[in-house]
Amino acid sequence: MRLESVEITNYRQYVEGRFLFTKNDSQIGDLHVIVGKMGSGKTTFLEAVNWGLFGEELFSSRRPYPPDTTSEIPSSIGKYQQSSASILSKVRLVSDGEYRTTVKLLFRDSYETFRVIRSYKYSVSDGRVSPSLDGLTLSVHVNDSISIADKELEIEKRFPKALREHFFFDGESLDVYLKEVRGMHIKPTVEKFSKIADIEAFLNFLGNVRTKLIYKDLRDKEKNNRLIEQLSKQIEETERTLKSLRERLEQAKQQEAQINDDLREIYQKLEALRNYEKYKSEFEDLVKEETKKRDELSELLRVKAQLLLDLGCYVFGWNAIDEAYNMRSTSTISIPIMLPKSEIEKMLSEKTCAICGSRLHEHVLEQLKALLNSDHVVITEDYHRVLKKNIRNNMLQVRRTNDRIGTLEKEIADIQKRIEELGKLLPEDISNKIEYYHKERERLESFKSDIQRKIFDLENNIKETVSSLNKYKEELDKNLTENERLDSIKKQLDFVQKVEDIIQKSVERVRKRICTEITKHMREFINRVMWKKELIENISLSENFDLTVTDKFGQVQIKELSGGERSILTLALALAIHQVAGVELPIFIDRPLTNISGEAYYELIHLLSKLSEERQIIITMTDQEYNSLEKELMNYSSTIHYLEPQNRGSYYVTNVIKIK
């Protein structure tokens, strides 16, 4: 399966970066080169691919700089647990807002198209990064259809994590891979894909049958044989002790892992307390602002009530006058409008409108009382228009008041929401929190040291207990042989032991077959590409997957090989493991020319080109290395990408330029 393209957004140096690994049908090899100055993002490219596939980086512990934040705590295998915030491009710290780090990977072979998109959302405020709790998204597309199955499992099927260090190589140590790693990484990888681990689990099951059933039967049938009974009890007790020790060891390791998690949480809380003063000030300002707006809202509600009351009085009181105005004589009299005094007295008495029957406001009643001094009421057309205008103005004021009330209520709701968010960020008692967390960190670190000592002691006790158990079994077997009456039980023991031996031999045969296949494929690759064949007469793998390389005189040659020769040997081993595991994965190498000089430069590039006929190979190199090999790389490579650093304020970003 080939890697066709990589798109990187907001990942360390890459704000926007795209790599296209195309290959013409006329090209035999599949070699791709990424060139850049030191620090331009060559290793970061490989880390981005790792993060896209597995959600974590591979080479972080080998970087020359320390962890970005205190939340990166060394794990039990010596690597840093990657802080999710540390991968966000530093250029994004300049402006507050929400950003996403995204890596898009597109793979393709003759059977399917496989696309992986992993993304993480961050919030930036005052130069500090806060990962979102629900910010991680992962989507997997198979043949352009979104996978609804377990996405991580879909990735694991095609890119087994157990093989990761056999298709991702740190080029600066590629030549010493075989000296440092040997069988340490190869063994668990092979046991996993060959199902040897499952077979060994069945062997443990048979051991339990022998211990819990056969030895118990042995004691029940031969009570008179005190020695055998004692030995069987000792074996059972020792195996029970051994099981207990192993359980305690597992618990201790789980405790160690939990302590590491607790320590990371403590560091995160200490980091969070640094923002306390800022959050507290914002909280107090928002409380004051909310009080001010609530006071304004109360005043507006009071004004609205008064306006509505006045509007009712205008409408109901004015209806009677308006009716009389509209019913006036059609003669030429245009100024006076008559309203009989009797009607006014009736309205004052009943306190209701003579026309619509509405209740009259005291304000209107006072005005009507003032009109009783005349025989009739005279209202001019101008006054009639004024009344209408007052009603319209009153209604307009009500609408404006309603609009302002709506605005205030929304602003108050937003303030309350932010106050609630800040309340979650502000500890109830800040005075003792920091001191408490520092003491808790010291306590956990001390506890971790105790647990590590406990693990060491338990591992030694297990070794001693296993030794004692073997001695008891040997003595029991000797006594059973001498006691014919226990022949049937001995046969049972023999049967179980034979089954265990058969399975164990099967495991050994599987190991031997895998070693043979890996050796065979390695020899095929080496014979095709190695330029100094006289140095490598024989290649063999032990059952523990330690690699031995000898010349025609039988001398071990791994340490005598040059950096380039060891690099080729390492790549041949990786391709052989891929072949046996039944996977076809691209090989990534970070700076394969690091420990090579002279003519070996040209030879190694030529050999990588030949190896790329078997598998897609993507390598990185510095601009100086590229300049010395430009002509050869133009001939051998399918694509060349150049990483160009560009200053952006206080930080550098990397532009990706495809030059071939």
Predicted local confidence at residue 212, as pLDDT: 62
How many separate domains does the chain show? 2
The answer to whether 88 and 10 are in contact (CB under 8 A) is: yes
Coil, strand or helix: which one is 552? coil
C-beta separation of 58 from 50 below 8 A: yes
Q: Report yes or no on 148 lying in a domain.
A: yes
Which mean pLDDT values do the consecutive 10-residue runs of the chain (660 residues) have?
A: 95 95 88 94 93 83 37 32 65 89 93 92 87 80 79 87 79 60 62 69 70 61 63 82 85 84 78 71 86 87 72 54 47 40 75 69 72 55 65 80 87 87 71 76 87 88 87 76 62 73 78 83 76 71 74 67 74 79 84 74 83 90 92 93 90 93
CATH number at residue 397: 1.10.287.510
- The whole domain housing 128 covers 1-27+38-159+594-606+626-660
What does the block give as tokens for 403?
């609009």
On whether residue 64 sits in a domain, the answer given is: yes
d(CA 521, CA 126): 56
155 and 14 share a domain? yes
Give the rounded distance of the alpha carbon of 218 from its chain centre. 55
pLDDT of res. 332 = 36
In the beta sheet, which residues pair with residue 145? 142
For residue 112, what is the DSSP state? Answer: -
For residue 620, being part of any structural domain is answered with no
7 and 146 part of one domain: yes
Helix (H, G, I), strand (E, B) or coil at 644: strand
The per-residue pLDDT for 557 is 60
> What pLDDT is attached to residue 238?
85
Do 148 and 17 share a domain, yes or no? yes
Separation CA 234–CA 481 (nearest Å)? 18
Last residue of a domain, one of 418, 443, 465: 418
Q: Which of 418, 445, 467 is the last residue of a domain?
A: 418
Residue 114 placed within a domain: yes
Q: How far apart are CA 34 and CA 18, in angstroms?
A: 12
Helix (H, G, I), strand (E, B) or coil at 30: coil
Distance of alpha carbon 75 from alpha carbon 459, whole angstroms: 19
Residue 476 forms part of a structural domain? no
Taking a C-beta distance cutoff of 8 angstroms, is the pair 418, 286 a contact? yes
| d(C-alpha 588, C-alpha 591), whole Å | 10
Compute and round to an integer the Cα radius of gyration of the chain.
43
Q: Cα separation of 234 and 11, whole Å?
A: 60
pTM over 0.75, yes/no: no
Q: Any idea what the CATH number is for the domain that residue 630 is in? A: 3.40.50.300
Residue 213 lies in a domain: no
DSSP per-residue codes, 344-370: HHHHHHHTB-TTT-PBPPHHHHHHHHH
Kindly state whether residues 154 and 8 are assigned to the same domain: yes
